[in-house]
Homo-oligomer: A and B are copies of this chain.
Amino acid sequence: MEDNQHDLLIIYTTKNGRTGAMVEPVRQGIIDGGANAIVRSVDEVQWEEMIHAQGIIVGTPVRFGGVDWQIKRLFDVTVNQGYPGPLAGKAGGAFVGGSRAGSGAELALLSMLHVLLNHGMVIQGNAFSSHYGPVALRDTTDEEMTAVCLAWGHHWATLVQRLYPGASGQPC
């Protein structure tokens, strides 16, 4: 990888496939926005990959209004090793697959963002789409889901390029 590439690492887990289906359009949106994306499941992601990335996007199914326990374990155990510091200043974001309106999708999304903020990461809202990150519910059509994931992938690509301009790839 060249130094001037902007890499976003997508870490995800899925329960019944809804969150998993969001990964590819998010990845495509990132590429469309001019950045690179690496995809890893919560089981396979390596700490070194997290350290190396300029941004981390986490996909989780809604589990009782919060993030999946395996995602939580990744941050509580693995990521805790170097805390505080190693993820500070990187771009961050989250996407969730849920069931109906009011079933906790936003709460799960925000819980994930809280973890990222805890690490000193930089997150951005979106005035023109789902405000805090892509959300797909049971009644969300494939078309709508794809559109919001593509839009947010592009949004995240723009953020990481803005945070890491030029070739150095060094955060401020």
Contact = CB atoms under 8 A, between A and B. Distances in A.
Interface of A: 63-70, 72-73, 75-77, 80, 83-85, 87-89, 100-107, 109-111, 114-137, 139-140, 148, 158-159, 161-163, 165, 171-172
B107 A114 contact: yes
Contact of A117 (B65, B87, B111, B121): B65
Nearest to A148: B102
A127 B118 contact: yes
Contacts of A163: 162-163
B69 A73 contact: yes
A130 B117 contact: no
A159 B124 CA distance: 12
A130 B110 contact: no
B122 A123 contact: yes
30 contacts: A65-B117, A65-B131, A66-B67, A66-B111, A66-B115, A69-B77, A73-B73, A83-B127, A84-B127, A88-B126, A88-B127, A100-B130, A101-B136, A101-B137, A102-B129, A102-B131, A103-B130, A105-B106, A106-B107, A107-B111, A110-B110, A116-B125, A117-B126, A117-B131, A119-B125, A120-B124, A120-B126, A120-B128, A122-B122, A123-B123
